[in-house]
Amino acid sequence: QVQLVESGGGLVQAGGSLRLSCAASGRTFGSYAMAWFRQAPGKEREFVATIRWDGGSTYAGSVKGRFTISRDNAKNTVYLQMNSLKPEDTAVYHCATDSHYRGWHFYTSPDEYNYWGQGTQVTVSS
């Protein structure tokens, strides 16, 4: 059974940085895409970034240039480095993984992801 556990959230002032981690277990980590989504109160879950099994990545326009997704296959962990944080980045951040073995497509819809972590709260104060 695939399990994802996020960590690294917290309270930070606008302009600050945070690094989120997501530890995966239950299958061959390095063969599947990983993604980060976020959900603010009263809003739908929103795509943030995804990284393919080969390291290719793509980002939502709202975070491009500020956030960086990376993965360490030896540690079964995906990271989200968040810089220049803004109050509108405040949300619960979830990591997710799909079931497309060594897929080449960048999936940005939450419907394409089968496994989710419980989320970690990120709050950015102005």
Q: Please say if the pLDDT value at position 58 is more than 90.
A: yes
Nearest of 8, 21, 38 to residue 76 by alpha carbon: 21
Residue with tokens 């968040």: 82
Q: Can you list the positions of beta strands (E) in 16-119?
A: 18-25, 34-39, 46-51, 57-59, 67-72, 77-82, 91-97, 115-116
Mean pLDDT along residues 111-122: 96
Q: Please say if the pLDDT value at position 99 is more than 90.
A: no
Q: Please say if the pLDDT value at position 28 is more than 90.
A: no
Summarize pLDDT for 12-25 with one digit per residue, the tens.
999 999 999 999 99
Summarize pLDDT for 71-86 with one digit per residue, the tens.
999 999 999 999 999 9
Other CB atoms within 10 Å distance of the CB of residue 8: 16
Residue 95 and residue 118: Cα distance in Å, rounded?
Answer: 8
The conformation of residue 105, written as its DSSP 8-state character, comes to S
Residue 9 and residue 119: Cα distance in Å, rounded?
Answer: 9
State the amino acid at position 31 in one-letter form.
Answer: S
Q: Please say if the pLDDT value at position 7 is more than 90.
A: yes
Mean pLDDT, the chain, whole residue set: 96
Residue with tokens 């540690």: 75
Summarize pLDDT for 33-50 with one digit per residue, the tens.
999 999 999 999 999 999
